[in-house]
Structure 1
């Protein structure tokens, strides 16, 4: 591993990113804090690692009290998730939502909660109908409190899209559309973004014959896909613009997006998953987020985005799913992304 670190540390890309991060006091990029491991550091130690590397945003998938306590006055912006299994209760009444806010938000006055993610990838699915009433109830429950500026949203994956190529053809599936119609109206009314989990890795690994690796890794030397007047140099932009097109098709052109998850695993799927590929993708993703560039469809709309994930998690499904982390559980880097 030491020799591998020395090779990576000599890359010009590493130097460029280091300069960008140094010049940015609070980078716009974030890292998701998954906890599906039996050997992970304590939340306090994990959050100290965020601070050490100047990571400005955290996606926290459930209101873990130790993590929330450690986040107090850290300056880290938090996307706080509800547990999917809590959605039916949160959807049942404002009183149930108030109990959740009283227990998991109000005690943590020093935590910079930016969004509450009401459900993670439950659309389409059995719990999809719970998302909108849960969002509405939580919004009512938090109104008038010191956290009244926190926006409610939800996270979706590519399964909500029935069409995505070319990007201008982006459209939701029928099932997703039924759930998202009211949610998008809510987001439009509250000026909140939709959280989208976007993984060029999975698209490339599923169809390497038709999707170029350099297109997936942000390293293509020129446009790879042309869609009308728009040119796409990387797959992430194309995937994000498919969401924009789908929302426009439903008459919600004013709803923005935040990339709540994106990443590339370093092992678990043969030559598709190497430390070098993971380093290249995640570093280029970070550069894009920190630079504040938009997409071909919305060049002036800055994208916030999070890398998945902080640690390799050994309780996830075997293979690549266990190897998305930037760090091993002992806090050492899987590859020198911050060098």
Structure 2
């Protein structure tokens, strides 16, 4: 993938861009009020992590407004009861096909994992699967991908039947769903998932839910370094808005101050090409690793602190900033992650995204509220 940036700071916004901007401004003003409190992803693939009770205490100490769980664990949900924290729970990938084929299984899942805890635990999102469209090379994976929307529909039907109206049903997708991302106006989804994206976008849009994205400027930046391409500026990837680098989309005329906005708007344009201009954005995962292998450049505490603190300021600003294609839109955001997870496989960066050490001390200074200076 080629990452090319143009210095077009003084480029006049085209007529096409004006039309897009006007359209998206109308969308932004029509949105219901959505909280911009930051969220944190709470993964538990580690053998040295605090207990769920202690972890939820730490979550409150961080002043997180949201938490994303990679399961729907009863102990964790019990400890979240009565806490002013919005919760996202997850249906495992291997449960999707069964739920899609059997409404009784969907009912059972909802009763066990939602009704048993709601409303004392503020469940607000049900994430069906995790990065389901990233792997469709085997017959089983493809079947799970095809069963995704039917499973979402069954779960939502059960939730609605209980009279619950404030829980959104969706699924998190990784950015490997994109064929091209740069410039954003030329972005598109991978051809082989078009037939899967269409019903998914139709359902998400029709239920006024969000498309949840696992989106990592670090990965795009590191790929540009590793492949000896036209390298992405580090400050631009770290969200140092307006420092050393801006990028103007040659087709839309939109000026970008950071890589995250570029990546988000690439999804906006890709969805628009499939006929869906109005699907809401949310970030299920984003962050920056604080350590890595010797060849994983840029993975250090300084960069991690820079990225996450800039992210928090950006996403918690009132009124919301949005992106060039979605100005003023609140984008619910979860930082990955609360702890390092030492049982993950792969390069060292996979195990070093945490904000907190196992003893609860900060890995580096971060301020989840975005107010005042970062502190530990």
Normalising by structure 1, report the TM-score: 0.90
Q: Report what 2:57 is aligned to.
A: 48
CA distance in 2, matches of 1:226, 1:108: 47
Which of the residues 297, 304, 307 maps onto 1:281?
A: 307
Residue 240 (structure 2) pairs with residue 221 (structure 1): no
For residues 197 and 155 of structure 2, the distance between their equivalents in structure 1, rounded to whole angstroms, comes to 17
Is 1:237 the counterpart of 2:254 in the alignment?
no
The equivalences for 1:157-176 within 5 A come to: 157-176=174-193
Q: Does 1:116 align with 2:126?
A: yes
Q: Contact 1:263–1:307 (CA<8 Å) still a contact in 2? A: yes
Which residue in the other structure is 1:192 paired with?
209
Instruction: Provide the C-alpha distance between the structure 2 equivalents of 1:144 and 1:280, rounded to a whole number of angstroms.
Output: 45
Asked whether the 8 Å contact 1:230–1:296 carries over to 2, the reply is yes
- 1:134-162 deviations in Å (ceiling 9; x for gaps): 00110111113153431110110111111
Residues 1:92 and 2:101 are matched in the alignment: yes
Q: CA deviation at 1:27?
A: 5.6
Q: CA deviation at 1:328?
A: 1.1
The equivalent position to 1:295 in structure 2, one of 314, 320, 323, is 323
Query: In the alignment, is residue 311 of structure 1 matched against residue 339 of structure 2?
Result: yes
Distance of 2:85 and 2:209 partners within structure 1: 19
User: What are structure 1's unaligned runs of at least 5 residues?
Assistant: 1-25
Count of paired positions:
314
Contact kept, 8 Å, 1:106 with 1:147, in 2: the verdict is no
Note if contact 1:223-1:231 (Cα within 8 Å) is conserved in structure 2.
no
Q: Quick one: higher RCO (CA 8 Å, sep 6+), 1 or 2? A: 2
SS in 2 for 1:85: helix
Q: 2:89 aligns with which of 73, 80, 100?
A: 80
Q: How does 1:3-18 map to 2 (within 5 A)?
A: none
| 199-208 vs 221-230, greater mean Cα deviation | 221-230
CA 1:201–1:269 in 2, change beyond 3 Å: closer, same or farther? farther
Partner of 2:37: 28
> Structure 2 CA distance, aligned partners of 1:222 and 1:144?
53
The aligned counterpart of 1:13 is: none
Q: CA deviation at 1:175?
A: 2.1
Superposition pairs of residues 243-262 of structure 1, within 5 angstroms = 243-262=267-286
State the alpha-carbon separation in 2 of the partners of residues 329 and 146 from structure 1. 40
1:289-325 per-residue CA deviation (whole Å, 9 max, x = no partner) reads: 1112100111121222111000001001250010000
Structure 2 unmatched runs, 5+: 1-34, 368-374
Q: Is the 8 A contact 1:154 1:195 kept in 2?
A: yes
1:247-269, Cα deviation, whole Å (9 max, x unpaired): 10111111111011000000013
> Secondary structure in 2 aligned to 1:143?
helix
**How far apart, CA to CA, are the structure 1 residues paired with 2:357 and 2:194?**
39
Residues 93-114 of structure 1 show CA distances to partners (whole Å, capped at 9, x for unaligned) of 2111001001111110211111
Distance 1:222 1:113 in 2: 41
Task: Let me know the Cα RMSD of the aligned residues.
Answer: 1.4
CA contact (8 A) 1:224 1:234 kept: yes
**What's 1:12 paired with?**
none
Q: TM-score, normalised by structure 2?
A: 0.81
Structure 1 residue 223: deviation in Å?
4.8
Which residue of the partner structure matches residue 224 of structure 2?
Answer: 207
* CA deviation after TM superposition for structure 1 residue 176, in Å: 2.0
Alignment check: 8 A CA contact 1:94 1:140 kept: no
Inter-partner Cα distance in structure 2 for 1:171 and 1:305: 23
